Amino acid sequence: MPLVLAADLVRSAAVARTGIGAFNVIHLETAEALVAAAENARLPVILQISQNCADYHGGLEPIGLATLAAARAATVPVAVHLDHAEREELVDEAITLGFGSVMFDGGALPYDENEAVTARVAARAHDAGVFVEGELGKVGGKDGAHAPGVRTDPGEARAFVAATGVDALAVAVGSSHAMSTRTAELDLALIGRLRSALDVPLVLHGSSGVPDGTIAAAIRAGMTKINVSTRLNGHFTRSIREALDAQPDVVDSRRYVRAGREAVAAEAERMLSLFAGTSGSTPK
């Protein structure tokens, strides 16, 4: 199965009123695990590389090309997406490398500036045939995202989409990035109002902190692209700790990193099925 466009996966899920999993790549082992998860579930997946990840690897090209290669070798549809880019030049680089979709994150900017820069980025991306995700209503850290008033207004969202031409919109509805506990409470009524107000798919960031049942309810209410990172990172790290505890004399890193890769694959497979509505399994 060749590399596919995130646009096709997101729009198909939106029509079907199901969710599509968009999981963050941290290193090559993550990309391999996520492809294995999709193949085991026989479901599509979006592999995401964030600006932070690109910076960690010293640039987008090394991890980007490796992830694109993993996607091309998959036996199920896999797309590659640039996540949370705050630098316009990083978006341009992703397009040049062959990413089929990009997210420009202007959520921390004043509304007018976010609109102007996102519109500029979207125009260039569309000229290259690339799908664009924007953000309105900052999805921040735990305290900020739960502060009063940190929510996306449906009327403002409608105007933002019209002015920028984005193809999908990340909205603030109660989730928060980097949560290690699954205690976030989403505003399902607001999701419904946003879905009614917009003609583009909605994106849920910070899904690691949202319980399974709430994610399923959010998808029913109108969420489509479901982003997960921290939860999978936790599975990776815990499994490596357990492997090292069990083999204190191990030297070859492949022997314990493999445990992390397998743990991510298992949890990502479960979550893909949850988002697609094909499984009622419970989290570990």
Q: Which residues are annotated as catalytic? A: 83
Task: For residues 52 and 59, give the distance between their C-alpha atoms in angstroms, rounded to a whole number.
Answer: 10
Q: Could you tell me which residues are beta bridge partners of residue 266?
A: none
Q: What is the dihedral of CA 87, 88, 89, 91, to 10 degrees?
A: 100
Return the SS3 of 80: strand
Angstrom distances, CA of residue 111 to CA of 118, 135, 168: 10, 10, 17
Q: Could you tell me which residues are beta bridge partners of residue 47?
A: 23, 80
Task: For residues 79 and 38, give the distance between their C-alpha atoms in angstroms, rounded to a whole number.
Answer: 11
Is residue 173 within 8 Å of 205, Cβ to Cβ?
no
